Amino acid sequence: AQKITQTQPGMFVQEKEAVTLDCTYDTSDQSYGLFWYKQPSSGEMIFLIYQGSYDEQNATEGRYSLNFQKARKSANLVISASQLGDSAMYFCAMREGIRSGGYQKVTFGTGTKLQVIP
Amino acid sequence: GAGVSQSPSNKVTEKGKDVELRCDPISGHTALYWYRQSLGQGLEFLIYFQGNSAPDKSGLPSDRFSAERTGGSVSTLTIQRTQQEDSAVYLCASSASGEQYFGPGTRLTVT
């Protein structure tokens, strides 16, 4: 089974609208972390937001928020008020093994290409 | 402070030659990861270092790939007898205990 599943290979959103990028995950760990990264056409990987499995509140960073539904094992990224500069690939990732104090495996999804339309 | 750096930024090599890719992580970051990204694809995990040891080498595609890390800092990814299918962007990331910080990548082209 895939550890991280991003079912939307591509998405379009109108400028100034909100958009949700889906991510589901699979782990047997009780303590894990979920991340979202943005990769513009320049190729750099930019960290956006982090959610810990024990965090009770959904993470927010400016226009980014993470809709964390633990029972459903989903960690969707919500971008509010989309801007043209948001056009990029978005990757969801999971870090496991946090409590073990040793190896912390990080797994990435296949990504969603978001295009913001003027 | 300085971020993760990688060198070279671009490398063109002939099939069959060996190449070395270098990653300089953020100072103090104990964890270091190598990934490969083919054009338009996601990140393919290659190897992970905790300090100088590599507890997970499961992503290395073949025995032509090897990596080492010295002094808990710089890491080198070596590809021997390169093949055309090795052409990709090789990304390095380091982390302390939270998110990964990525370098700009090395674009490898095997002709």
pLDDT in tens, A11-32: 999 999 999 999 999 999 888 9
Q: Which two tokens stand for residue A40?
A: 């513009």
B105 touches chain A (CB under 8 A): yes
Chain A residues within 8 angstroms (CB to CB) of chain B: 33, 35, 37, 43-45, 47, 50, 91, 93, 102-111
Share of chain A above pLDDT 70, in %: 94
Q: Is the Cβ pair A111, B42 closer than 8 Å?
A: yes
Q: Is A3 helix (H, G, I), strand (E, B) or coil?
A: coil
User: Rounded to an integer, what distance in angstroms lies between the CA atom of residue A68 and that of residue A58?
Assistant: 6
Query: Mean of the per-residue pLDDT values for chain B?
Result: 92
With contacts defined as CB-CB under 8 Å, which chain B residues touch A10?
A: none
Share of chain B above pLDDT 70, in %: 99
Q: pLDDT of B29-59, one tens digit each? A: 999 999 999 987 889 889 999 889 888 888 8
With contacts defined as CB-CB under 8 Å, which chain A residues touch B98?
A: 33, 50
Write out B63-86 in H/E/C secondary structure: CCEEEEECCCCCEEEEECCCCHHH
Q: Is the pLDDT of residue A97 over 80?
A: no
Position B108 confidence tier, pLDDT thresholds 50, 70, 90: very high
- Residue A3, by phi and psi: left (phi above 0), alpha (psi -120 to 50) or beta? alpha
B65 touches chain A (CB under 8 A): no
Percent helix, strand and coil across chain A, each rounded to 5?
5, 50, 50
Q: Is the pLDDT of residue A103 over 80?
A: no
Q: Is the Cβ pair B50, A111 closer than 8 Å?
A: no
B10 touches chain A (CB under 8 A): no
What is the C-alpha R_g of chain A?
14
Instruction: Provide the pLDDT for residue A98.
Output: 62
Q: Is the pLDDT of residue A70 over 80?
A: yes
Position A1 confidence tier, pLDDT thresholds 50, 70, 90: low
Instruction: Provide the pLDDT for residue B56.
Output: 81
With contacts defined as CB-CB under 8 Å, which chain B residues touch A104?
A: 31
Q: Is the pLDDT of residue B80 over 90?
A: yes
Whether the bond into A118 is cis, omega within 30 of 0: no
* Closest alpha carbon within chain B to A108: B43
Q: Is the pLDDT of residue A76 over 80?
A: yes
HSE of A54, CA atoms in CB hemisphere, 13 A: 6
Residues forming a β-bridge with B10: B107
User: Rounded to an integer, what distance in angstroms lies between the CA atom of residue B103 and that of residue B111?
Assistant: 24
Q: Which two tokens stand for residue A28?
A: 């047997």
